[in-house]
Amino acid sequence: MRNLLPAIVATATALFARQAEAVAANPLPKPQNITWGSSGAFSVGALTLDGPDHDVLQAGFNRAIEAIVDLRWIPAATEAPVRSFQPFPTPTGTASKLRKRSNETGSLTNVKVQVDDTHATLSHGVDESYTLDITQGSSTVEITAKTIYGALHAFTTLQQIVINDGTGNFIVEQPVSIQDSPLYPVRGIMIDSGRNFISKKKIFEQVDGMALSKLNVLHWHIVDAQSWPLQVEAYPEMTKDAYSPNEVYTQAVLADIINYAAARGVRILPEIDMPGHANSGWKQVDRDMMSCIDSWWSNDVWATHTAVEPNPGQLDILNNKTYDVTGKVYKEMAKIFPDTWFHIGGDELHMNCYNFSTLISSYFASGHTMGDLVQYWVDHALPNFRAASNKTFVMWEDVVISPDAAASGTVPKDVVLQAWNNGLENIFNLTRDGYRVIVSSSDFMYLDCGYGGWVGNDARYNVLINPNKTDGSANFNYLGNGGSWCAPYKTWQRIYDYDFTATLSDTQKALVQGAIAPLWSEQVDDVVISQKMWPRAAALAELVWSGNRDKDGNKRTTELTQRILNFREYLVKSGVQAAPLMPKFCARNPHQCDLNLNQTALWAEPPTSL
């Protein structure tokens, strides 16, 4: 870092020379309430912690101080009014006049933390609020929090507002008062290690990004039909279907990940997807409890399809062995993962797959429906799991709202449903029926969308001339989805602009627990996971922490631009390999890369129904 100091000084000089009256620091997510003073900057010395004797608190403080010292952060993108442009075709307008920063007026040496409840556990609904105050003339950063986890968030805010002044010294630019708390208790991302293995190191990297952006739930889709990388002591043979002996999550590795996340205020929500997406692992225990695992998945002949992607397989819902095995796997994992929530899947069941089950074929022949079969699973699997470990179950929305495989009877209202289809419509219908909902709408939040198809031997790409050239309409290779079912790519603006409670009553809004952005891993592994996850996940982080609107109720997406560009650079400096969103020119020249010069263009409300 010392070798880079001349470049840092030059960059900072240019940055501060063009900085407007607003401070350069611009923490993400934007706090609920942040008020900057104007009396002048504080120098920051060797900060010491004055707070409760608590290992998690001390470790969080140490990480924040280490980040401040090691990164020596100079904001990479700062907010400023859109500059004057030359009118067409008249001479150039005059750029906004900028005010120089006032001199330092104090020195900070102490961080005083008051925590009301140091024994609160990391669980759903834990209080994450905090206040942070630096007053004129004080030498102390004053932090209050209800729990340790609120204090951790205060530290991540602090490390974003202590910046390098360009000469190697640390400052906080002005007195500041922050009152902050999240809008939702569930704010997360989803990783998928069933399609491609994700190493412990890269999972830690995702947790680091989450902690910096105040996301608090890592939904971990651990296994799928393609592989079983999870060690289960009750059935050690299941990891024969891991990709290699080096691509297995031992129980020691699981403990490392759980502990690393917990120390940063991140809950792990484990998912064992059942009874669909089931092949690898399960078949090593007993092939008789499986259906269609040796079938062709048949998307080329949709009438006989057994899965939406290779390789097919579902648990046989009418085989008693299924409940013995799934119960033991769940019981073991429920002991390892301490969170009070557990995800048991429930998505994308295909009736055709069950044509390969003698038991279920006879069941259908006797007049029962697919909905009856799903209800049988709900009525038998959920009580079986509860008897082993009574946690709050999360399931994909399909079990209630799928047009093909929804349960025909009652799904308990204490099951939390993850909504992934049909955007506002499904959120409305699920909350109308009294279910708590996690929003993961694929039209807005699926981070794997828009990368084209991944299945091989696909003749749809073998096209040399646009068949719709005359009328310009979309087709597979020309303006179409190109094989990505949920195309187009979900940009940070698409995510941030999502008003997912727009059509809900107050009663329904209270049932929305928050949002999780999934990154399915058919085309994701260690090499690309962080680039595909970040910094787009940071747009979700602000959306569910403090919302996407200013104090007047207007969309603030344009305001987020410089904040997220700056945060991307902060992530990269912090070791999270986030992708660039724009040319660096845009970070250095606020709003010169906007599509609309009119800075209120996003204030118009989009329709919420056709």
Active site residues: 348
Q: End-to-end distance of the chain based on CA atoms, in angstroms?
A: 55
Cα(151)–Cα(142) distance, rounded to whole angstroms? Answer: 11
Q: Which residues pair with 515 in a beta bridge?
A: 187, 439
DSSP code string of 481-533: -TT-TT-S---HHHHHT--TTTT--HHHHTTEEEEEEEE--TT--TTTHHHHH
Residue whose entry in the numeric block shows the structure tokens 């970070």: 587
Cis, bond preceding 488 (omega within 30 deg of 0): yes
Biggest CA-to-CA distance, the chain: 84
Residue among 377, 368, 367 nearest 400 (CA): 377
| 183 half-sphere exposure, CB direction, 13 A CA radius | 23
Per the rule left: phi > 0, alpha: psi between -120 and 50, beta: everything else, 369 is beta
Alpha carbon 438 to its chain centroid, in Å, reads: 12
CA trace torsion 377, 382, 384, 388 (10° rounding): 150
For 61, phi then psi, to 5°, come to -65, -45
CA distances from 422 to 430, 464, 518 (A): 12, 34, 16
Cα(351)–Cα(314) distance, rounded to whole angstroms? Answer: 10
Cis, bond preceding 535 (omega within 30 deg of 0): yes
In a 3-state reduction of DSSP, which class is residue 357? coil
Cα(101)–Cα(20) distance, rounded to whole angstroms? Answer: 9
In a 3-state reduction of DSSP, which class is residue 334? helix
Using CA of residue 577, residue 438, residue 254, residue 57, what is the dihedral sign?
positive
Cα(102)–Cα(334) distance, rounded to whole angstroms? Answer: 56
Q: Are residues 42 and 522 in contact, defined by beta-carbon separation less than 8 angstroms?
A: no
In a 3-state reduction of DSSP, which class is residue 538? helix
Residue 99 CB neighbours (<10 A): 9
Residue among 228, 171, 180, 153 nearest 41 (CA): 171
Sequence-separated (6 or more) residues with CB below 8 Å from residue 15:
24, 74, 75, 78, 166
